[in-house]
Chains A and B, each alone.
Chain A
């Protein structure tokens, strides 16, 4: 039904409900209680001032920074339509179907990814086609992914990271709060008080957690691989005590703070700005020595696993590389080298850099697609295996 030119009061609440529906289609998560709040809010402000009307709605209906910023546009769009007396309800109906389809699809893809990573055994029926889609996608080299596929991968990883973060942290909290009274120590401590418990001694379970150090080559050819790798590692970050990330090309930079304080895409943009890219060649050896000199004191110890992601083409002196790798190997728990070139069937570690580093590497893997990354993740759990040094492709 078309609305006649509005008399402010009578049609207002109906329009408010329509407005909230409109916002919901735009991705705002609004329920009936928020609608009620909005209606209450506009009763509090003086009528007639459009600016105040708009602001009050924004304060109530926008719930995060993104919504806050796009609110004005949505508002103008909706109320323009009302002013033209166009039935906005009809217009919204068509896109709805597409939206729900897309959402269902994403859900299926997400569940398929989770299962494939073998993390949460799902009892739900998974659509077979989506699962095998993911399998195919997982074998594709990152460089061969189309833009859409890449976006898909990144967003799935992001969601995965959020979910995992929540799971793991619950485990963490339980053991912290599980303050068990250590009776033995308590009695002993109170012996001099005639056995009366004046001091309670609590014990907490000691959690053995691992530390990770990531050294990523971000020169032109390696940039994409580095991104995926770091993304995946950070998905599991709550399983590790600490993750320190460094990037290098011609020099070494510590970027852990940036990754911790910013959302991923933005963080990588900041990193690309800071680290000058040089497609000529990477001085891996000197960057690694830099790492040893500057950072090994705080970051390398018997509990740390070191990941190095690089293609091994070093343009510096091989001796520098050798001594750096030797130090890293000695001081850490495990050294895992990821070389995306190793994904091609003709690979053999001929590059001088790789050859020099090989004796000091525990695991050499390729990490050029999701499949190999997944294996690498599972690999982290095990200890240094001196007899069977493993090489994965």
Chain B
């Protein structure tokens, strides 16, 4: 990553069909150059996880994903011994006369070690991208464990010894802000906030991800989504919903929106029945603002 310049990052990401704006490019660039983890926060569905996938593809490296949940502890994140296999192996080795030390070495060898994401990232021979998804779902203990790993990049397994990473992976953390993260973790990372896109950006994304969509349809979809986000919904739709909807409508070979079509495909965009009800009630207004003429009859 020594000779990469800011523009190269932008080009790399664009090649992967990820529409980027300056803030994102700068954050990714600095994270790669300074070798610091990147904390990406924002509402659901705006492309936080996407960034990690796209970076991994662009750098031609492996994406290792750790999905956090409440109750996640270091066992699930780091490693676990395959107890069952070890027991079977011991049983099989019973008849053979090896001395204890050799047996011990065998049993605690690599083939009985279940590597979980973080250990996988550490022991990877190439540089990988470690995505720690929804880190705010995990608890405080896990956060302190994470801090330790992120600073030392070494793991000590009592039976084997200390394993140090030869190639430090790039780390991307994502969060939804359901819980406030600890200060210490935040200070370790570079920060990026991704918000819902504006009209131009959303249109660019739709055109990049759904090639061949009718341009009028594309514009109407984006206008509609912009208006929709102004309503106070339980689950405000993000860019992924826009892309799904655009794909659905493109498959139907439509060239413009109308009230019936919107009503029947609303389930692609909204995932909560109260939201759907509220939107259908306000549908005519929304469509007017979008400039869609409804079919008569």
Q: Which A residues contact B (CB, under 8 angstroms)?
A: 29, 31, 33-34, 37, 40-41, 44-46, 51-52, 55-56, 58-60, 62-65, 67-69, 162, 166, 169-170, 173, 176-177, 196-198, 200, 257, 260-261, 270, 273-274
Contact = CB atoms under 8 A, between A and B. Distances in A.
Contacts of A257: 234
A52 B9 CA distance: 14
B84 A52 contact: no
B177 interface: yes
Nearest to A162: B180
Nearest to B42: A65
B295 interface: no
Nearest to A67: B191
B186 A64 contact: yes
Interface string B108-145: 00000000000000000000000000000001110000
Given A34-B187, A63-B186, A198-B87, 4 more contacts: A41-B34, A45-B6, A55-B23, A58-B23
B22 A55 contact: yes
A197 B140 contact: no
A261 B43 CA distance: 11
A65 B41 contact: yes
B6 A46 contact: yes
A64 B191 contact: yes
A173 B191 contact: no
A29 B187 contact: yes
B29 interface: yes
Contact of A37 (B29, B34, B88, B140): B34
7 contacts: A45-B6, A46-B6, A64-B191, A65-B41, A65-B193, A198-B87, A273-B232
B234 A63 contact: no
A261 B23 CA distance: 26
B139 to A, nearest CB: 5
B140 A63 contact: no
Nearest to A51: B22
B83 interface: yes
Contacts of B91: 196
A180 to B, nearest CB: 15
A238 B178 CA distance: 15
B83 A176 contact: no
Contact of B139 (A31, A173, A197): A173
A27 to B, nearest CB: 12
The 10 closest A-B pairs by CB, nearest first: A55-B26, A63-B186, A59-B27, A68-B193, A44-B33, A65-B193, A59-B190, A59-B30, A63-B191, A41-B30
Given A173-B73, A196-B91, A52 B6 contact: yes
B87 A197 contact: yes
Contacts of B141: 170, 173
Nearest to B87: A198
Q: Does more than half of chain B's interface fall in helix, strand or loop, or is it mixed? A: helix
Contacts of A196: 87, 91
Most chain A CB neighbours (cut-off 10 Å) among B22, B23, B87, B190? B190
Interface size class of B (residues with CB under 8 A): 35 or more
Contact of B26 (A59, A65, A67, A169): A59
A44 B34 CA distance: 9
Q: Point out which of A69, A173, A197, A260 has the most chain B C-beta atoms below 10 A from its C-beta.
A: A173
A176 B5 CA distance: 47
Nearest to B71: A176
Interface in B234-293: 234
Contacts of A261: 178
Which among B6, B30, B84 has the greatest number of chain A C-beta atoms within 10 A?
B30
B149 interface: no
Q: Which of B26, B71, B180 has the most chain A CB atoms closer than 10 A to its own CB?
A: B26
A365 B2 CA distance: 68
B36 interface: yes
A40 B190 CA distance: 13
B192 interface: yes
Given A198-B84, A260-B178, A177 B73 contact: yes
Contacts of B186: 63-64
A270 B231 CA distance: 12
Given A59-B190, A60-B190, A65-B177, A44 B30 contact: yes
B159 interface: no
B178 A169 contact: no
A37 B26 contact: no
Nearest to B6: A45
B99 interface: no
Contacts of A64: 41, 186, 191
Nearest to B192: A59
Contacts of B152: none
A169 B180 contact: no
Nearest to A167: B140
Contacts of B234: 257
Contacts of A198: 84, 87-88
Given A59-B190, A63-B191, A65-B177, A270 B140 contact: no
A62 B191 contact: yes
Nearest to B25: A55
A55 B21 CA distance: 12
A393 B11 CA distance: 69
A257 B23 CA distance: 32
A197 B87 CA distance: 8
A29 B183 contact: yes
Contacts of A197: 87
Contacts of A33: 187
Contact of A52 (B26, B33, B36, B191): B26
Contacts of A52: 6, 26
A176 B72 CA distance: 10
A31 B178 contact: no
Nearest to A33: B187
B30 A60 contact: yes
A51 to B, nearest CB: 7
Interface string B162-190: 00000000000000011010010011011
Nearest to A71: B191
Nearest to A34: B187
Contact of B29 (A29, A44, A62, A200): A44
Contact of A270 (B73, B187, B232): B232
